[in-house]
Amino acid sequence: MKNHQTVPKEVKEQIIERIRNEGKSVTSIAKEHGIPVSTVFTWLKRKTENPQYYRELIKLRKEKQSLMGIIGELTVRLSDTGKKELH
């Protein structure tokens, strides 16, 4: 038998709102609420005409985070190189 819990409509709306407006990832929100990721994607799909948009948005946010990390590392390296040249 399935262990199926019903999530109140207000909670669904809050979850969707946090993903859309706060930039929270679907995975982190789903884990936070103990809900399967696929369920949250289903809610998003029902609330929008273009559900692929949110998947692409999530992908781009991850890429941005990765690139920001690379930029940070390169900035530190360049800073270290500049300090060595001054001495």
Domain count of the fold of the chain: 1
pTM: 0.52
Q: Say how far apart CA 81 and CA 75 lie, in whole Å.
A: 10
Domain annotation covers residue 53: yes
Query: Residue 1's pLDDT band (boundaries 50, 70, 90)?
Result: very low
Domain annotation covers residue 3: no
Give pLDDT, residue 51: 63
Domain annotation covers residue 4: no
Domain annotation covers residue 17: yes
Q: Say how far apart CA 60 and CA 65 lie, in whole Å.
A: 9
Domain annotation covers residue 1: no
For 8, the 3-state DSSP assignment is: coil
pLDDT in tens, 29-75: 999 999 999 999 888 878 776 667 767 877 888 899 999 999 999 99
| Cα end-to-end span (Å), the chain | 71
* Helix%, strand%, coil% for the chain, nearest 5: 80, 0, 20
Tell me the residue range of the domain where 50 lies.
Answer: 9-86
